[in-house]
């Protein structure tokens, strides 16, 4: 009975994240609209967009190889699998036993490789540009993300995300300089990985500086729907990753309905706050030139590295 | 791993010291002079806060006084003087980007590792809870020196010099609960005088060669003219 319950919870958590991802995007758009004195679209708009796209015919370029058709499914599946390694509501997560934080980064890397290959596949100029820019961003973002994970792993002695959150929950509340640096680094990396301002502008289409949109230009119908949904899921994934690692309070440590409800309420509150913060940042900042992005991510890398050093110097030698 | 065993004040001191280390990196990488001055002011504020918190933890009144001196001098007076200097020299919009930013920052990280390695034996004999701050302050001192090495703009080098003083003060506060007040006052006065002298000196340089780029100072004006001739007469 217990095993069934745990398995159900494990299956339901990524699906819950998948279902909630468009809502998070809609919430960010809404807050952004309010900050700019607009009323903003209803919160259900991304769901309607997805339904519309799923019902449409998928047009594929004549020059495209089979990879172009496979890519959306791989991207979507890899992102969903990555989400399965993440404790969304409860730290009792069988999926986390198989996939730790490094596997999560690897799965996201797989999704990204397929995305860039698909962008190159149709042979358009924008697709190639988007792909090369995505690779530029990734080259700098991925090491920083790994360093963040290593910094936290040195404190919690595990790379398993569920145990990381559990050990933070069980430990005393301590001011840790390394966590502060790691949080700052993760926020910068998250912004870059999810293609938000100031690295990429998610709300424009057909702009010369686009990164993510550039790779999706050739997609239509259900393929585009899957790609968009995967991107939304990735944003939700990074948001949940941030709150799991740094603010895990509220996560259910056992599977009672009450604890799960409390965890859900806490998660909604935390994601709403994080989304509002992102919207605020996107309103205040301007998109930076592409060639300044490596500098931005070098900053993230430096912060992560300082987190690691701060742990070694200030926290472990005591 | 018994960070949790430290009192909250000491934990806060560690966090502030780590932030001061970050500000040293920001000072190293910041190419705009005015922003660099603001970073320097923040670093001063962090160091002053460390002194005040250490004072609160140890109940030492002298530390409050040195915190106040540091705050007035390094957060208000010197940044204000530098601001005025930048405006008088019309350098507000001038950017002085690092030649190799990534390499410089990695060198900075290597310096932090080196500082930790150097300070490890010192920290062993020290019994105060915040002894690890010695490594951090040594790193701030070395990063200030690195700033002076890699920056071409004279004012940025002054900021590096002042950051060295911040690092020394941090080391004194964290390891021995501050220097004697006489020494403290002397150092503070020295820094102030240095600042005034730098100001006068820079105005003179600017007047005579119309730039504060240090690279231009490596040659004498007459030798530059000589280089243009094919064969200097001997």
- For position A114, what pLDDT does the model report? 95
Nearest 10 degrees: Cα torsion A189, A190, A192, A193: 110
Residues 6+ apart with CB under 8 A from B84: none
Q: Up-side HSE of residue A285: CA atoms within 13 Å toward CB?
A: 16
Angstroms from B59 CA to nearest CA on chain A: 22
Query: Three-state DSSP class for B144?
Result: helix
When pLDDT is cut at 50, 70 and 90, the band that residue B1 belongs to is very low
Q: Do A314 and B18 touch (CB under 8 A)?
A: yes
Nearest 10 degrees: Cα torsion B14, B16, B18, B20: -140
- For residue A90, the cross-strand partners are A252
Q: How far apart are CA A142 and CA A297, in angstroms?
A: 10
pLDDT tens digits, A12-31? 888 999 999 999 999 999 99
Cβ-based contacts of B15 with chain A (< 8 Å): 175-177, 180
Nearest to A215 by CA among A35, A75, A33: A75
- For position A231, what pLDDT does the model report? 95
Q: Do B3 and A315 touch (CB under 8 A)?
A: yes
Burial class (CB in 10 A: 0-12, 13-18, 19+), A272: middle
Q: Do B18 and A317 touch (CB under 8 A)?
A: no
Q: Do A317 and B19 touch (CB under 8 A)?
A: no
Q: How far apart are CA B23 and CA B136, in angstroms?
A: 12
Q: How far apart are CA B122 and CA A298, in angstroms?
A: 32
Angstroms from A174 CA to nearest CA on chain B: 6
Range of the domain at A200: 2-316
The three-point CA angle B36-B40-B44 to 5° equals 170
Q: How far apart are CA B50 and CA B66, in angstroms?
A: 11
Q: How far apart are CA A170 and CA A52, in angstroms?
A: 45
User: Does residue B97 belong to the interface with chain A, where contact is any CB pair within 8 Å?
Assistant: no
User: Does residue A310 belong to the interface with chain B, where contact is any CB pair within 8 Å?
Assistant: yes
Cβ pair A35, A280 in contact under 8 A? yes
Query: Three-state DSSP class for B51?
Result: helix
Cβ pair B40, B163 in contact under 8 A? yes
Query: Three-state DSSP class for B153?
Result: strand
B18: nearest CA partner in chain A: A177
pLDDT tens digits, A75-109? 999 999 999 888 888 887 776 677 788 999 999 99
The three-point CA angle A251-A77-A271 to 5° equals 30
Residue A40 has pLDDT above 60, yes or no: yes
Residues 6+ apart with CB under 8 A from A231: A194, A195, A212
Q: Do B1 and A176 touch (CB under 8 A)?
A: no
Residue B225 has pLDDT above 80, yes or no: no
Angstroms from A79 CA to nearest CA on chain B: 31
Q: How far apart are CA A92 and CA B53, in angstroms?
A: 40
Please indicate whether residue A223 or residue B188 has the higher confidence score (pLDDT): A223
Residue A115 has pLDDT above 90, yes or no: yes
Phi/psi of residue A44, each to 5°? -90, 0
Q: What is the ipTM of this complex?
A: 0.84
pLDDT tens digits, A169-216? 887 778 888 999 999 999 999 999 998 988 888 877 767 888 898 899
Mean pLDDT of chain A: 89
Q: How far apart are CA A100 and CA A241, in angstroms?
A: 12
When pLDDT is cut at 50, 70 and 90, the band that residue B229 belongs to is very low
Cβ-based contacts of A317 with chain B (< 8 Å): 120, 123, 132
State the Rg of chain B over Cα.
20
Angstroms from A133 CA to nearest CA on chain B: 19
Angstroms from B102 CA to nearest CA on chain A: 7
* Domain tally, chain A: 1
Residue numbers of B between 108 and 137 with CB closer than 8 Å to A: 109, 112-113, 116, 120, 123, 129, 132-133, 135-136
Bond prior to A130 in cis (omega within 30° of 0): no
CA B104 to chain centre: 16
Query: Three-state DSSP class for A251?
Result: coil
Nearest to B179 by CA among B137, B123, B116: B137
- For position A254, what pLDDT does the model report? 79
Cβ pair A85, A104 in contact under 8 A? yes
pLDDT tens digits, B141-179? 999 999 999 988 888 888 999 999 999 999 888 877 777
pLDDT tens digits, B25-38? 999 988 888 999 99
Q: How far apart are CA A22 and CA A232, in angstroms?
A: 6
Look up the pTM and report it.
0.89
Q: Do B17 and A295 touch (CB under 8 A)?
A: no
Mean pLDDT of chain B: 83
pLDDT tens digits, A225-248? 999 999 999 999 999 999 988 988
Q: Do A313 and B116 touch (CB under 8 A)?
A: yes
Cβ-based contacts of B17 with chain A (< 8 Å): 177, 314
Instruction: Give the residue-averaged pLDDT of B95-103.
Output: 81
Place of tokens 């001098």: B73
Which stretches within chain B are classed as H helix?
8-29, 33-58, 61-70, 78-88, 101-125, 133-150, 154-176, 181-209, 221-228
- For residue B153, the cross-strand partners are B213
Q: How far apart are CA B91 and CA B95, in angstroms?
A: 8
Residue in A175, A309, A318 closest to B15 by CB: A175
- For position A145, what pLDDT does the model report? 95
Nearest 10 degrees: Cα torsion A94, A96, A99, A103: 160
User: Does residue A172 belong to the interface with chain B, where contact is any CB pair within 8 Å?
Assistant: yes
Place of tokens 């599946």: A77
Q: Do B21 and A298 touch (CB under 8 A)?
A: no
Number of CB pairs < 8 Å for A and B?
A: 71
Cβ-based contacts of B29 with chain A (< 8 Å): 299
The torsion region of residue B198 among left (phi > 0), alpha (psi -120 to 50) and beta comes to alpha
Q: How far apart are CA B54 and CA B13, in angstroms?
A: 7
Residue numbers of A between 275 and 294 with CB closer than 8 Å to B: 294
User: Does residue A177 belong to the interface with chain B, where contact is any CB pair within 8 Å?
Assistant: yes
C-beta atoms surrounding A27 within 10 Å: 22
């Amino acid at each position: 009975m217990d095993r069934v319950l745990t398995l159900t919870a494990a299956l339901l958590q990524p699906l819950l994240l998948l279902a909630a991802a468009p809502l998070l995007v809609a919430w960010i758009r809404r807050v952004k609209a309010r900050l700019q004195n607009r009323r903003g679209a209803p919160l259900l708009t991304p769901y309607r967009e997805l339904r519309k796209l799923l019902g449409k015919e998928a047009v594929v370029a004549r020059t495209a190889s089979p990879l172009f058709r496979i890519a959306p499914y791989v991207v979507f599946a890899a992102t969903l699998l990555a989400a399965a390694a993440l404790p969304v509501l409860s730290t009792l997560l069988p999926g986390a036993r198989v996939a730790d934080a490094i596997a999560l980064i690897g799965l996201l890397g797989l999704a990204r490789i397929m995305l860039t290959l698909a962008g190159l596949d149709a042979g358009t100029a924008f697709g190639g540009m988007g792909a090369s820019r995505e690779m530029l961003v990734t080259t700098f973002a991925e090491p920083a993300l790994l360093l963040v994970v290593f910094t936290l792993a040195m404190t919690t002695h595990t790379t398993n995300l569920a145990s990381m959150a559990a050990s933070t929950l069980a430990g005393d509340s301590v001011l840790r300089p390394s966590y502060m640096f790691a949080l700052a680094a993760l926020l910068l990396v998250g912004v870059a990985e999810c293609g938000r301002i100031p690295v990429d502008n998610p709300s424009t289409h057909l702009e010369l500086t686009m990164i993510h949109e550039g790779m999706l230009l050739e997609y239509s119908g259900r393929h585009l729907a899957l790609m968009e949904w995967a991107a939304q899921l990735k944003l939700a994934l990074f948001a949940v990753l941030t709150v799991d690692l740094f603010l895990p309070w509220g996560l259910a440590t056992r599977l009672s309905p009450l604890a799960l409800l409390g965890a859900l309420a806490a998660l909604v509150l935390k994601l709403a706050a994080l989304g509002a913060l992102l919207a605020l940042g996107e309103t205040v900042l301007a998109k930076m030139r592409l060639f300044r992005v490596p500098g931005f991510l070098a900053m993230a890398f430096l912060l992560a590295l300082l987190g690691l050093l701060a742990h070694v110097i200030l926290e472990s030698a005591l | 791993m018994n960070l949790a065993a430290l009192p909250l004040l000491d934990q806060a001191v560690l966090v502030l010291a780590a932030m001061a280390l970050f500000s040293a990196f920001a000072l190293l990488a910041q190419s705009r002079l005015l922003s660099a001055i603001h970073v320097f002011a923040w670093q001063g504020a962090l160091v002053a806060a460390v002194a005040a918190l250490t004072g609160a933890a140890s109940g030492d009144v002298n530390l409050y006084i040195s915190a106040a001196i540091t705050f007035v001098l390094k957060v208000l007076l010197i940044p204000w003087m530098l601001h005025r200097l930048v405006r008088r020299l019309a350098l507000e919009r001038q950017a002085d980007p690092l030649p190799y930013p990534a390499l410089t920052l990695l060198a900075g990280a290597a310096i932090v590792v080196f500082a930790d390695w150097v300070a490890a034996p010192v920290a062993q004999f020290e019994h105060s809870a915040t002894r690890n701050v010695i490594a951090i302050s040594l790193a701030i001192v070395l990063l200030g020196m690195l700033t002076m090495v890699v920056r071409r703009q004279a004012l940025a080098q002054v900021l590096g010099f002042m950051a060295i003083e911040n690092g020394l003060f941090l080391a004194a506060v964290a390891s021995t609960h501050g220097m004697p007040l006489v020494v403290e006052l002397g150092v503070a006065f020295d820094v102030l005088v240095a600042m005034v002298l730098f100001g006068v000196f820079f105005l003179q340089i600017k007047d005579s060669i119309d730039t504060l780029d240090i690279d231009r100072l490596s040659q004498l004006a007459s030798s530059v003219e000589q280089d243009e001739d094919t064969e200097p007469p001997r």
